[in-house]
Amino acid sequence: MVTQTDFSTGRLPTWCPGCGDFGIWAAIKNALVKLNLGPADAVFVFGIGCNSNMYDCFQAVNFESLHGRPLPLASGIRLVNNKLPVFVIAGDGDALGEGGNHFIHTARRNHDITYIIHDNQYYALTTGQTSPTSFCGFKTKSDPDGVIENPLNPLTLALSAGASFVARGFAGDITHLTDLIVKAHNHKGFSVLDVLQPCVTFNHVNTYQTYREKVYKLDAGYNPKDKMQAYAKAMEWEQTGKIPLGIFYEEERQIYEETMEQTQKVSLVQQPLNPIDLNSLINETL
Ligand SMILES: Cc1ncc(C[n+]2csc(CCOP(=O)(O)OP(=O)(O)O)c2C)c(N)n1
Ligand code: SF4
């Protein structure tokens, strides 16, 4: 039986009191307990940012990547061992700024990875610069007169890039977020979970209170197989101000790892290392 304390390193995060990262951290641990996945049963790849401070406090098989690069690392892990569950934990800057290219290509390849994006609409660790999801008019360290660029919508981007599971959660609703993380993990394919994460220090527009006034949950009448409806729901926030939470889209599609003849039956990590004459390979390329 996996318990919450199995993931404890004895250290506490250095997040500001009230940071939404606490709620996401709790939901991740709840989900792992529900899934009965212990510290050695999955791999966690972190980006760089406030969110990734979780790395220090989370007893598991962890990698801290370069900023923007957790997805290539996670994809590599899946290619080598396609039986291993892989979670990626990163911020909106990491996921959609420096790592934006990786986001698109991991989605279209449909690697079986669960991607949890801490979307606080700021580069928080570096003290509050504009990120790709900062709203027009936000006053930030890098745009003191207000952001003039249009923000990226992580959900419509994920849908059009080909993510096979697209969902949105809220760090202030840990029970619902736990359920979404469980479902994202159970989905076979690239699962994008954009989590609205209040940053109490920099984001004074989208706070716990304003989110609570705007969020609502997609109900049983919503069909997550309908991609056009998913686009419409994903644009609702910018069009009406209401913020739907839940699974916007889910499809069954072959994952990249299973399209490769070499790994269809047996993971690379379980295959014998045949002696390869590297010299002939090197000579061929010289
Ligand atoms: C390659 C590289 N570029 C830039 C940085 C500087 N840097 C560190 S964290 C960060 C932004 C973090 O923002 P985000 O990913 O949204 O996470 P948050 O801190 O908001 O949780 C940046 C730009 C870096 N460490 N490495
Ligand atoms: S700066 Fe924002 S994101 Fe970073 S720890 Fe503080 S509240 Fe959280």
Are residues 246 and 183 in contact, defined by beta-carbon separation less than 8 angstroms? no
* Minimum-distance ligand 2 atom for the alpha carbon of 20: 8
Report how far ligand 2's centroid is from the alpha carbon of 183 (Å): 27
- Closest residue by Cα to atom 26, ligand 1, is 67
Are residues 247 and 180 in contact, defined by beta-carbon separation less than 8 angstroms? yes
Cα(270)–Cα(18) distance, integer angstroms = 44
Q: What is the C-alpha R_g of the chain?
A: 19
**Is the C-beta atom of 15 inside 6 A of ligand 2?**
yes
Residues 122-177: tens digit of each pLDDT: 999 999 999 999 999 999 999 999 999 999 999 999 999 999 999 999 999 999 99
Are residues 91 and 166 in contact, defined by beta-carbon separation less than 8 angstroms? no
Where do the structural domains in the chain lie, given as residue ranges? Answer: 4-285
pLDDT band at 20 (very low <50, low <70, confident <90, very high): very high
> What per-residue confidence (pLDDT) applies to 9?
96
* Minimum-distance ligand 2 atom for the alpha carbon of 202: 2
Half-sphere exposure of 105 (CA within 13 A, CB side): 10
Q: Please state, as a whole number, how many other Cβ atoms lie within 10 Å of the Cβ of residue 26.
A: 16
Cα(152)–Cα(103) distance, integer angstroms = 13
Mean pLDDT of 251-270: 88
**Is the C-beta atom of 202 inside 6 A of ligand 2?**
yes
Residues 80-137: tens digit of each pLDDT: 999 999 999 999 999 999 999 999 999 999 999 999 999 999 999 999 999 999 999 9
**Is the C-beta atom of 171 inside 6 A of ligand 2?**
no
Q: Please state, as a whole number, how many other Cβ atoms lie within 10 Å of the Cβ of residue 166.
A: 30
In the numeric block, the tokens 């911020």 are attached to 91
Lowest mean pLDDT among 24-33, 42-51, 68-77, 260-269: 260-269
Residues 236-249: tens digit of each pLDDT: 999 999 999 999 99
> What per-residue confidence (pLDDT) applies to 230?
98
Ligand 1 pocket mutation pick from 94, 120, 202 by most atoms within 8 angstroms of CB: 94
Cα(22)–Cα(177) distance, integer angstroms = 12
Cα(83)–Cα(74) distance, integer angstroms = 13
* Minimum-distance ligand 2 atom for the alpha carbon of 13: 5
Report how far ligand 2's centroid is from the alpha carbon of 259 (Å): 40
Lining ligand 1 with CB less than 6 A are: 47-51, 66-68, 90-94, 98, 118, 120, 122-126, 131
Report how far ligand 1's centroid is from the alpha carbon of 133 (Å): 14
CATH number for the domain formed by residue range(s) 4-285: 3.40.50.970
Residues 173-222: tens digit of each pLDDT: 999 999 999 999 999 999 999 999 999 999 999 999 999 999 999 999 99
Cα(26)–Cα(30) distance, integer angstroms = 6
